[in-house]
Amino acid sequence: MAGFLRPEDRKFRYDDAVTIGVPDTSARHLVAALEDARRGSLTLFGDLSAEEQLGERAHHLEPPIWEVGHVAWFQELWLLRHLRGERPLLPRGDGIYDSFHVSYKRRWDHDFPSRDATLEYAEEVLRQSVSRLGVRSTTLDERNLYWLAAVHEDMHAENLMAVRHTRGLAFPGGGGARSPAIVDVDPGYEPHDVEVAGGTFELGARRGARYAFDNEMWAHPVEVEPFRISSTPVTNSEFAEFVDAGGYTTRKYWDKRGWEWRRREGAKHPLFWVRQDDAWHERCFDDHARLEPWHPACCVNWHEARAFCRYAGRRLPTEAEWEMAATWDPADGSKRRYPWGREKPSPSRANVDWSFGGGGTIDVRALAGGDSAIGCRQMIGNVWEWTESRFEPYPGFVPGAYAEYSQPYFGKKPVLRGAAWSTRGRLAYATYRNFFIRHRRNIFAGFRTCAV
């Protein structure tokens, strides 16, 4: 893995190839984003006990107290130490929170600051960061870094949500993840394949986009063959048929690496499914309930998704196919930022930002207002969606200021698209590229399929 270059050790500059404006460049908007991101982190961390804030050492998890300290450290690194030239507020912070120098396997071994000291540190970093915005005008480069600090914290908040879920802790903030969701479900709606004519499509973020990460830059033409894609993600009911048909023990449905993973893990069904009273139940945080048949299959990994596809005679979409189905408007040949148009996500269009009943997945037949122009539903929100594509740079890739965000992972992980119910709305747009290791199955990920 590439070493972490500190801002003071690199020539910092957004050149014309990688500079774009944040959604709203006003100081008030940037302060609001930073404060909102911090509220999310504290909601997820604030009610944890002393034992829960560290938790047992486990693969694909982080200690919650590390997560909170890390986002504060990242904000300090870029907004105070780089932009202001300040000395570190926490002298030993680099040795604890620098994720590119400190292996995740060692993150339980640190002598962490106390809970109160961690929260005081995070509060002081935020106070100094926002106070600077009201003092003088900022450059575009600086505003981009303020926005990066906010969305970086959003990403870690989503990971902290997954940690709580995996640990079987209570849903944060009370109310429970299974509070009734008031959504408009069309009971007569039947998932179906949508035909996409294909052709030349511009994959990636267009110049002038509200915000984009370096791996989305820039839109470039790709040729897409005609294809048919499901209008909804695969449901729990559909995935249960695969499980009950012996899908996890039938070798022909799995490629070599997938089968090796399944045998090594002893996987027989999705991670949080439980067989009870001759029916499938699902553990959601600290609650067990009967599996919702019309909710999307969630917390399945890339191997599980591909095995289902072989069983069903289907395949995963490429990310170009996924993005075309989400953004292309055949009426005028235009490309949308969101499946429904230009407006930011709202509860009538997308299940993001813990929108419904505090959180959790919803019926795949809901939210017709969020349909794409060609008729695909819930391409933003509910669950992340695995694609067949490997995470690779786009032509002419130039790393952004945070060079370690994308570059170390090219060629190593599959791409996920869309967003989950746990994703903050600031990160829920159609060109955003998420990426996780293929055997990770405690993230809120599902998938939709294409006809072979």
Task: State residue 19's pLDDT score.
Answer: 33
Task: State residue 237's pLDDT score.
Answer: 98
Do 7-167 and 193-236+298-451 share a fold? no
**Checking DSSP bridges between strand 445-446 and strand 384-390, what pairing results, if any?**
parallel
Question: For residue 315, what are the β-bridge partners?
Answer: 450
Task: State residue 178's pLDDT score.
Answer: 56
Amino acid at 181: A
Task: State residue 1's pLDDT score.
Answer: 26
Task: State residue 180's pLDDT score.
Answer: 47
Task: State residue 25's pLDDT score.
Answer: 65
**Residue-range domain boundaries for the chain:** 7-167, 193-236+298-451
Which parts of the chain sit beneath pLDDT 70? 1-25, 134-136, 174-182, 355-358
Task: State residue 26's pLDDT score.
Answer: 83
pTM value? 0.93
Q: What is the pLDDT of residues 358-414, one digit of tens each?
A: 579 999 999 999 999 999 999 999 999 999 999 999 999 999 989 999 999 999 999
User: If one looks up domain 193-236+298-451 in CATH, what number appears?
Assistant: 3.90.1580.10
Topology of the domain covering 7-167: Four Helix Bundle (Hemerythrin (Met), subunit A) (1.20.120)
Residue found under tokens 């200690």:
63
Task: State residue 355's pLDDT score.
Answer: 57
Task: State residue 366's pLDDT score.
Answer: 95
Task: State residue 211's pLDDT score.
Answer: 83
Task: State residue 338's pLDDT score.
Answer: 97
Tokens encoding 71: 């986002």
Q: What is the pLDDT of residues 26-48, one digit of tens each?
A: 888 999 999 999 999 999 999 99
Task: State residue 96's pLDDT score.
Answer: 93
